[in-house]
Structure 1
């Protein structure tokens, strides 16, 4: 253990969901009562990473997160670097960070953004055979980055993501 580890604060623990994107997880982690961090940058500062966590919240992985960065984040949040690797796209898989995609049926089961929804070639949910949504089914507002999904609803009209399944089409 080095001197920095002794100074670095530990954040409240937030359990990751299976398949959750790093963007969604980092947003939940920041909003957790014990943490209450205002931005991705504030989280990155605590972990000694600067603004890199802000890029991850936006699903921008160029340059791709390295082991040292993931270990630094792991040291303050209590989640292993291996678990963070699972929240990232696998090596060789191309991401499409915009538009943000959602399977409302999956979200109704487990309220999180899944990293595989942003894979470039992913247009449907393999589990529900439904086309992935890119905007609210009510007001057509594009989805914000998953880190900002505080309420699990459209930021414009407040329609719950889970209720959007009613208008999600079979693929």
Structure 2
């Protein structure tokens, strides 16, 4: 009699509101001690995971790829789609952008920060909210090191001088 192979069990990671797929994948991989390559093998979609973490979404993720990822990370496909740009919106993969004020409120990289036409941060829930009308940062306000991809944001701080992202809001310019 053949014993069925057990599916590996993973620690669940809940997506945060507005979080980018890159940031979510990095959090999931760290929580489960996986590399991008290992996650790609587990999902059966290979190196695509690494491309998505870098915001290289051309070609755009297929429904089959998203279903394969959803099965492993235990997040609904609809929720994964929310972490991607809407149809017709172009992403700018570099430089990585950040709003320190928003990061202080919810420590995650927001997908909207990488939209090509996005230069300032305005709260989507409160578009007229002046406290979010800050120019997006592209590098550390202390040492000017460009931000790494969000999948690599472990502590929420500059990887060079260790200034927390939340403290960078003090030096953000009003837009």
Tell me the TM-score range normalised by the shorter chain.
over 0.9
Structure having the higher Rg: 2
- Please point out which of 164, 168, 172 is paired with 1:164: 168
CA distance in 1, matches of 2:40, 2:77: 15
**Structure 1 segment 9-158 matched on structure 2, within 5 A:** 9-32=8-31, 35-37=32-34, 39-127=35-123, 128-158=132-162
1:107-156 alpha-carbon deviations (Å, 9 max, x no partner) = 00000000000000000001200000000000000000000000100000
Number of residues of Structure 1 aligned to a counterpart in Structure 2: 163
RMSD: 1.0
- 3-state DSSP class of the match of 1:68? helix
Q: Report the alpha carbon displacement of residue 10 of structure 1 after superposing the two structures with TM.
A: 3.5
CA distance in 2, matches of 1:26, 1:101: 17
Ranges in structure 2 where 5+ consecutive residues have no aligned partner? 124-131
Return the TM-score normalized by structure 1: 0.93
Ranges in structure 1 where 5+ consecutive residues have no aligned partner? 1-5
Q: Report the alpha carbon displacement of residue 41 of structure 1 after superposing the two structures with TM.
A: 1.5
> Residue 8 of structure 1 contacts residue 76 of structure 1 at CA under 8 Å; is this kept in 2?
no
CA distance in 1, matches of 2:8, 2:81: 22
Return the TM-score normalized by structure 2: 0.91
> Residue 9 of structure 1 contacts residue 46 of structure 1 at CA under 8 Å; is this kept in 2?
no
CA distance in 1, matches of 2:135, 2:40: 34
- 3-state DSSP class of the match of 1:153? coil
Q: Report the alpha carbon displacement of residue 55 of structure 1 after superposing the two structures with TM.
A: 0.4
CA distance in 2, matches of 1:52, 1:9: 21
Which 10-residue stretch deviates more, 155-164 or 7-16?
7-16
CA distance in 1, matches of 2:74, 2:19: 16
